[in-house]
Structure 1
């Protein structure tokens, strides 16, 4: 069963070391998202409408809010993946226009050939997370080196002023903006999309078309993104029972929440909380 081996969180966002042997449902993240292979079999992801490979020499590059899925096939061996979920403000501290990592076209391609430096930094960060799980400063230093190499390799960050890119990406119809605010305010209460469409003054069909045109994801995917980000925070940082977290996010039973979490994060909530709580001195080796 797929599970998290390690998790690092901070102002940079989060980094998960995942042992993957089952598919993930189509989902999205509010961060730029980089997937790097550490060990195991080559793998593949569906990004947008493309199937792209994750190998020793290729990275999968996913823009903020871009729908994607892990396409694991029956009988395929497991893969250890370093998954980066990076906050734009943190990247913007390196160069102001790197804050454009929150824009929908930061990565121009969904897959790119890695360099020896990227492969070395990927392995170094994965090993540091396993062998020294409590050394947060070292993790962030390695992540910074890795993301600088990734951005310089895979983006046209010199091409357009970040202010124009973000401005172009930020226009959202006021009715879609209202619906998004309602979802963010209380995802537990937003389950009926027909009602949500009516609440913002649109027919269901028009609402879905306008929402996806504005935010690049469907209302249901947006709701799931909000639920998942709340779930990650509650599981990783909190002490509430999973039953309480499940109820707060609108799931009818804890088992439904656990399946949702595993299908989106590649890990059970139990394993995710465990690796979030690890401190230095708890060692194991990459298999």
Structure 2
């Protein structure tokens, strides 16, 4: 990483681990969290975060793991709870020498043989088991009272409609004002309702939908970036490239090249 990332969120929990380079920081839910050789950054699903880059700071190589709950549940059934809030009780935590070694082994394997997906998955699985057993609340099988109350409460239909519109086709959302009107509330009330319901702003939620589609298209499509940019609603390809870099941490071309190396195996 050699430049900031904007505030964003993901549907999956994820873990950030330093491979080499300078120590650095992330903002997780409004809290500064250090990323060092001895500590990891832990981000729950739908928790907003951003990369804090200081001008002149040397780059940092980061192993970023975005973890699907269903994949995790294959290790332990209740690890599917990673899809909800509070799976990681703190946004950062100290890692053991064993975890540090596993980070190095995983990163080295991914660089040495980018196409060996089976080995990568085995190493990532081993690493995630070590991290979750140390730093997550996985032993708490029963959800908290707050989580149960939230699950039992019917979602606000206006916010559910807005989310459905954004998931269906984020490129067709012309503005937040339009989305508020479609939801039947004023813009200010819409923002308050949305954040109360989801914990993030509607703009962050919309950008999450756009970047997920962008990542899939860049990695898996053979279309030009100009075509992908237009499909995702960007007026010019340069805006798409900036958006992609600000959210994914690399240019679309670099991301596609690395994905091609992975798929070549």
TM-score of the two chains, using structure 1 as the length reference = 0.88
The yes-or-no answer on 1:228 pairing with 2:206 is: no
Q: Which has the higher helix share?
A: 2
- The residue number in structure 1 matching 2:168 is 185
- The residue number in structure 1 matching 2:133 is 152
Write the distance in 2 (CA, Å) between the matches of 1:145 and 1:164: 31
What's the offset of the Cα at 1:156?
A: 1.4
User: Is this contact kept in 2: 1:88–1:100, CA < 8 A?
Assistant: yes
1:97 to 50, 53, 78: 78
Whose RCO is larger (CA < 8 A, sep 6+)? 1
1:141 to 115, 122, 128: 122
1:37 counterpart SS class = strand
User: Is this contact kept in 2: 1:97–1:163, CA < 8 A?
Assistant: no
Write the distance in 1 (CA, Å) between the matches of 2:175 and 2:242: 21
Report runs of 4+ in structure 1 exceeding 2 Å deviation.
160-172, 279-282
What's the offset of the Cα at 1:201?
A: 1.0
Residue ranges of structure 1 left out of the alignment (5+ in a row): 1-19, 283-287
- The residue number in structure 1 matching 2:40 is 59
- The residue number in structure 1 matching 2:22 is 41
- The residue number in structure 1 matching 2:259 is 276
Residue ranges of structure 2 left out of the alignment (5+ in a row): none
Give the direction of change, closer, same or farther, for the CA distance of 1:221–1:281 in structure 2 (3 Å limit): closer
TM-score of the two chains, using structure 2 as the length reference = 0.95
2:109 to 128, 131, 136: 128
Write the distance in 1 (CA, Å) between the matches of 2:58 and 2:149: 42
1:118 to 99, 105, 113: 99
Write the distance in 2 (CA, Å) between the matches of 1:214 and 1:161: 22
Write the distance in 1 (CA, Å) between the matches of 2:119 and 2:227: 34
Write the distance in 1 (CA, Å) between the matches of 2:196 and 2:126: 35
Aligned length: 263
